Amino acid sequence: MRHAPLAVLLTAAGFAACAPTEPADLVLTGGKIAIVDEAFTIHSTLVVRDGRVLAVGGPEIASRYDAARTIDLAGRLVVPGFNDTHTHIRGNARRYIDLTGVNSIVEIQDLVRAKIIEMGEGEWITGYGWSEDELAEGRRPLRADLDAAAPRNPVMLTRAGGHSGVANSVALTLAGVDRTTPQPEGGVIEYDARGELNGVIRERQGIVGRLAPDATPAELRETQIQVLRNQLALGITSLIQAGETPEDFGRWESIYEELGTELPRATVQIRWVGTDQLAAFGRRTGDGTDRLRVGAIKVLVDGGFTGPAAYTTEPYPGMGDYRGLLNVPEPELRQLIDEAHELGWQLGFHAIGDAAIELTVDAFVDALTKNPRVDHRHYLNHFTVTPSVRTMELMAEHGIAIAQQPNFTYTLEGRYAANLEGDRLAHNNPLKIPMQYGIFMALSSDILPIDPRVGLYAAVTRKGMSGQVYATDEALTMEEAIRGYTANAAWLTFEEDTKGTLEPGMLADMVVLAEDLLTIDPERIMDVAVDMTIVGGRVLFERR
């Protein structure tokens, strides 16, 4: 074998060492980068230019680029940015109390008293986020509890999930709600054993809450911007806002026109307001930019389990023949589905109980049969109680997808244990079995809580807050769960060709995690810190 002269080899080595580098904005190297392509490829280095992934590969590619910033991952895991496909980002008034994570009714009372000092006697106090399953007393706050804290201020506090709330006596009196008030259509006014109002109203708490003064535009804008920024600390780079009116979409446009490059990307579902108002709105699913776009039409077909009011095929245990409630009468539901589908909208409907799911799927299929559309991507939000095999087969056949919340199995465990039995309880919020039928599934939170780590934990372990395991045949692998929060989530908004994976050419949206979710003990998933969140190649959050 002939060998090249030493001088030639040295010259070639010199040329390689001096080869010109390409410009780049950002290089991440020295870690484990999950591309979440079809093969779930892992690389160690990723290069970003002009907001998109330019190259991925081994450590050797880092030297080919002259980057404005290089991040040494030091072995950490990078995944595409989490995309919460069903969330609620709210701006709030100064009178509002955040009750997320409160541990007792006593703490709720203290927060109400403090807010009264801030707002003044007689002012409305509102709040959101309590859950009886997280309170030391093991029960819901009731009218008497709020009366003790606020004898002269009207108070309305909504449960986490938004499907019920509790009011004090002053608020009930102002609203004209008493023992003689008829039950509201689609809702329930609760009474205690003596036949007195206990303050809890399910699904129609607006009959009281409507009296609370609206937040000012300035209050709404300021707090909404802060809540959007807070998503970045959770690794969320995209989200679907689960329902706004066409008028409220204008507030989102104003915020994103000014600050869009500093916030997570957003798709906003539009509440069904009728064909005339939608025509006046002048936009439909997919309109917008890669920062803010119009999403699906949103309709709440039934209630939830925090009432309970989800519309089920079997009665609730101990409640006679009560099977929950439809929010929209069936003839009206079918008509609006036909109209929205014919107008070219994607449909993303809330359906929790199995009876609501089966009704909605049948109506979707009827609309698709009468007016076929190849790539409609209609979907159901929630899908809590597993419907019939026939319904799942129809969903797969007609391309009807699911935006599921695996975290519900964890945080709503107490509500399911109280209201479901047997197989219906075990298979709450099914994941794997619908996928085995061929149903496309993305993951989300519905703010119970927002944190994707809780959803990943529950998807992989199928554990409730008590540690009880529910139907292990519904559990996902970590790879499947990450895909549900990333690549699959992008499909739900027709953006699978631009985001959701870290393949070259895709938007450089990603999260750097302190530990490797792919190998960690599943019991520690919720403890893994978000070290960095990157949107469009820009670091928008960095843990200090």
Predicted confidence (pLDDT) per residue in 261-271, tens digit: 999 999 999 99
Tokens of 506: 């895709």
Q: What CA–CA distance (Å, rounded) separates 478 from 466?
A: 21
- Residues 6 or more apart whose Cβ sits within 8 Å of residue 279: none
CA torsion 358→359→364→368, rounded to 10°? 90
Tell me, yes or no, if the two domains 93-209 and 299-476 fold the same way: no
The dotted CATH code for 93-209 is: 3.10.310.70
| Residue extents of the structural domains in the chain | 93-209, 299-476
pTM, two decimals, is 0.87
Angle at 14 between CA 11 and CA 18, to 5 degrees: 140
Predicted confidence (pLDDT) per residue in 238-250, tens digit: 999 999 999 999 9
Report pLDDT for 19: 60
Q: What CA–CA distance (Å, rounded) separates 115 from 130?
A: 16
State residue 221 phi and psi, 5-degree precision: -65, -50
Residues 137, 171: contact at Cβ < 8 Å? Answer: no
- Residues 6 or more apart whose Cβ sits within 8 Å of residue 82: 234, 235, 236, 237, 238, 452, 485, 486, 489, 511
Asked whether residue 458 carries a pLDDT value surpassing 80, the answer given is: yes
Residues 381, 349: contact at Cβ < 8 Å? Answer: yes
The DSSP 8-state label assigned to residue 472 in this structure reads: G
Predicted confidence (pLDDT) per residue in 23-45, tens digit: 999 999 999 999 999 999 999 99
The DSSP 8-state label assigned to residue 283 in this structure reads: -
Confidence label for 2 from pLDDT (cuts 50, 70 and 90): very low
CATH 3.20.20.140 is right for the domain spanning 299-476: yes
Helices (H), 300-440: 330-342, 354-370, 389-398, 407-411, 413-419, 422-426, 432-436
Asked whether residue 112 carries a pLDDT value surpassing 80, the answer given is: yes
In 10 A of CB 443, how many CB atoms? 32
Average pLDDT over residues 295-311: 91
Q: What CA–CA distance (Å, rounded) separates 476 from 179?
A: 48
Predicted confidence (pLDDT) per residue in 312-356, tens digit: 999 999 999 999 989 999 999 999 999 999 999 999 999 999 999
Report pLDDT for 308: 85
Amino acid present at 385: V
Tokens of 432: 């794997």
CA distances from 18 to 12, 49, 357, 455, 468 (A): 10, 22, 64, 48, 61
Asked whether residue 98 carries a pLDDT value surpassing 60, the answer given is: yes
Q: Round to the nearest angstrom and report the end-to-end CA distance of the chain.
A: 58
Report pLDDT for 8: 42
Residues 350, 382: contact at Cβ < 8 Å? Answer: yes
